Amino acid sequence: MKFNDFEFSDGKNSQHGTSKKLLLLLALSLVFLTIVPLYLLTTSHSPLPSPKIDISDLRNIGIVKECDIFSGKWIPYPNGPYYTNATCSLIIDQQNCMKFGRPDTEFMEWRWRPEKCALPFFNAKQFLELVRGKMMAFVGDSLGRNQMQSLLCLLSSVSHPEDISHSPTDADPNGHSLNSLMNLYLDQADEAWASQIENFDYVIISAGQWFFRPLIYHINGQIVGCHNCYMENITAVTMYYGYRMAFRAAFETLRSLKNYKGITFLRTFSPSHFENGAWNEGGNCIRTMPFSSEEMKFDGYILEFYLTQVEELRKAQKKGKKRGLRFELLATTEAMLLRPDGHPNYYGRSTHDNVTVADCVHWCLPGPIDTWNEFLLYMMRKEAWRSFYEKLQ
């Protein structure tokens, strides 16, 4: 996707005359295409499913499909996390909360428990067995990178993963200025990612927070509206419009690639938890315990973002089925809505070195974001069994 960036003040716009190419169709900061070449992560185990199949697993496949792992609650888990910042060297400073003096550790002592089933622990060896010789891409913003780095730390107990992802491309060269207005071309996939993604086996797509910013939307080379731009002669539209169209274009791009046969996972909106003010008005996130579902309701703009994503995913599933493509849901929103305690707050070092701004968007490592990869492995395993079961028919 291409951007043109502007600075506007007192209603007057001045174009910088630069054009940016990003690695995703979405208006994001730190947009990137992370490539995990899983054939480099070796174990002594064979790929799943193996020839030695437990028939009870096949009989239970229907039960697995019916289990909603995404609805549940956080329960105390005093055994602690899978890893620490001492055992995983891949944690960047922005999410290395313990390195920078976070005094409490209770945020690492909770596990997600679905309402009607058990969520298996992350099994690094099983993950590597499933993906031997395959490639995985995280396409999204810095929260997608956050998940990728969680995954690498989870795998570090049995392997020696390396972060070889592309350097992040900053969507806003003006340092995330409140006055920065960008053009967002909703229907143009950038070749930087579209040209590489075709041979990937797993693609995890996500985006969210950067759709709150001022944006001018373009389709077919024409301005179709803007969000928070307050410009005359341009129709004001909601942020949900751009959000919907961006995911639609991303799914359409994947579906249109002739040789793409991978499984696409949509990771849903990750909520922030600023209290006592907005992010640029002294807001912070000082809580040390999860919310209960009674304390924090799944509604408002967070629900609207989530439903927008799911609606576009359902359309992609229906269209993709004609080609045998799988589009699956990683519905992390409900679980993460309840974790105001999981953010770095002031206990991280931003890439912009502005320690006066609390980070209530990203997630500490280790922390509740590790649950995203428990979800991911669960869904990957379910897909592997589904595929194997279909071949038996």
**Of residues 37, 264, 55, 39, the one with CA closest to residue 129:** 39
Catalytic residue among 150, 227, 362, 370: 362
Catalytic residue among 5, 141, 187, 359: 359
**Residue 276 structure tokens:** 């006592």
Is 359 annotated as catalytic?
yes
C-alpha–C-alpha distance, residues 221 and 213, integer Å: 21
Is 142 annotated as catalytic?
yes
The count of other CB atoms within 10 Å of the CB of residue 62 is: 10
Is 353 annotated as catalytic?
no
3-state DSSP assignment of residue 392: helix
What is the amino acid identity at position 130?
L
Cβ atoms of 337 and 86 within 8 Å: the answer is no
CB-based burial of residue 79 (10 Å sphere; 0-12 exposed, 13-18 middle, 19+ buried)?
exposed
What is the amino acid identity at position 342?
G
**Of residues 158, 165, 68, the one with CA closest to residue 119:** 68
Catalytic residue among 142, 165, 180, 272: 142
Q: What is the dihedral of CA 339, 340, 345, 350, to 10 degrees?
A: 50
C-alpha–C-alpha distance, residues 315 and 278, integer Å: 34
C-alpha–C-alpha distance, residues 10 and 247, integer Å: 33
Q: Which residues are the active-site residues?
A: 142, 359, 362
